[in-house]
Amino acid sequence: MDYYRIPYKAAGSGLRGLWVAIKKINLQGPRKKELKAYELMTVKINKNPNVVNYLGSYLVDNQFWLVMEFMDGGTLSDVISKTYLSEDAIAAISRECLQGLDFLHWNHVIYRDVKSENILLRTDGSVKLADFGLFAQLTPEQRRRSSVAGTSGWMAPEVLTGQPYGPKVDIWSFGIVGIEMVEREVPHRNETPVSAELPIARGERPQLRKPNRFSPHLCDFLSCCLQTDEEQRWSAKRLLQHPFVTAAKPASTLAPLINSAKKKTKKTRI
């Protein structure tokens, strides 16, 4: 994705002077399908506190510009790479992400690309899902999908094996994000994509390397996300009632962590 941070000064928009992010989509070939996807998502999921807010769209030469709110805290991936996340922080981030996923699933949308790079943060502690280029809209006629879509390392076993799947593929992917938040890397990170996917396709579950270092509630939460049997895997709505999540502190408590990671990122770039 190409994001640009520029002053948004569209006349009559009511958003003069607001800093925004812009994704540019070329209006050629397969990008047309992506364009239609984003147009639908703009209408479908706008104004949810845990989903990045799309502000408008414009045709500029041969490009379609999607204007969205600017998340000044960067990505969850940035935070993971720069600082240590406590269980309290992981719980708060999990609650915010699950609220977003529950909203999408209630609207019969499968995200299909849950990963730390697509979870954006703001310096006030806000946590939001972003980038819906791989989303799938379910209908009464098509309640499940079977096409392989997602990012290697985060894909659920039913996706890897070509089985029909539903919204719970997003829960598996978020379970991988959970391991990433704990161990600062995804399972099998140093292996090739094919080698990393084989154990999951065979029915193996990713595990924390040293589970005894963490609370039973955290370990059980990850286990509920990473059930290889889709029927046994918890839904986003049910996970929001898990003790690990219900004990989470307000999102505003994430602000110091996000700001600290942002400062470290700036120092690295200097």
Q: What angle do CA 124, 129, 133 make, to 5 degrees?
A: 145
Cβ-based neighbours of 20, under 8 Å, separated by 6 or more: 5, 6, 8, 55, 67, 68, 69, 70
Burial of 217 (0-12, 13-18, 19+ CB in 10 A): middle
Active site residue 229: no
Residue in 102, 113, 131, 170 annotated catalytic: 113
Q: Distance between CA atoms of 117 and 127, rounded to whole angstroms?
A: 12
Q: Rounded to whole angstroms, how far apart are CA atoms 76 and 234?
A: 23
Which helix H or strand E contains 128, and what residues bound it? strand 127-129
Residue 129, classed as helix, strand or coil, is: strand
Residue 26 φ/ψ, nearest 5 degrees: -70, 135
DSSP H/E element including 4: strand 3-8
Which run of H or E residues covers position 24?
A: strand 18-26
Task: Kindly list the catalytic residues.
Answer: 113
